[in-house]
Amino acid sequence: MLRCDDHLRQLIGPHGALVVSDDDHVTRKLVMLLNGECLGLGPSAAARDGGFSKQRYFQLRQAFTQGGAAALTNHKRGPKTNYRRCDEVVRQVIRQRFLDADASADVIAQKLCQSGWTISTRSVERIIAHYGLQKKTPSLHPRG
């Protein structure tokens, strides 16, 4: 049976060992799948020994079956693109801000929604803040 020793950072087998780097998550997942599928340990025990849940074991097995070892790599979570604040929406927010400097973010969001763009008031506020288009507020104390 193969196992990954986290303390020694080694992949240990019956006749020797290989050094595995700390950030090599693919090898850890592959060892778990080999133990579960090829060496007869079973999904539950292999998942437990690998530090994963049984459900995650089956997800990784399916990913490996469909895409090989490359499918076991960790991927960035969350949205991959800025789909709400695309370039055209940003241009429209800036345009609306310059057309009416006194319009609030809520009014600009409403105008864009009426024009067919899907955007929230908070996203408009973020665009305005990012480009420094906030309204100038008068100071409380006059200079002098």
The answer as to whether 8 is a domain residue is: yes
Burial class of residue 81 (count of CB atoms within 10 Å of its CB; 0-12, 13-18, 19+): exposed
The answer as to whether 135 is a domain residue is: no
Range of the domain at 59: 3-72
The answer as to whether 144 is a domain residue is: no
Neighbours of 72 (CB within 10 A): 19
The answer to whether the pTM exceeds 0.75 is no
How would you write the pLDDT of the chain (144 residues) with one tens digit per residue? 667 666 657 777 888 888 878 788 898 898 889 888 888 889 999 999 888 999 999 999 999 999 999 999 988 888 777 777 889 999 999 999 999 988 999 999 999 999 999 899 999 999 999 999 887 666 666 665
The answer as to whether 121 is a domain residue is: yes
The answer as to whether 82 is a domain residue is: no
User: Do 64 and 91 fall into the same domain?
Assistant: no
User: Do 64 and 103 fall into the same domain?
Assistant: no
Distance CA 37, CA 31 (A): 10
User: Do 8 and 67 fall into the same domain?
Assistant: yes
The answer as to whether 45 is a domain residue is: yes
User: Do 91 and 67 fall into the same domain?
Assistant: no
User: Do 20 and 66 fall into the same domain?
Assistant: yes
Please name which of 102, 92, 99 lies closest in space to residue 124, comparing C-alpha atoms: 92
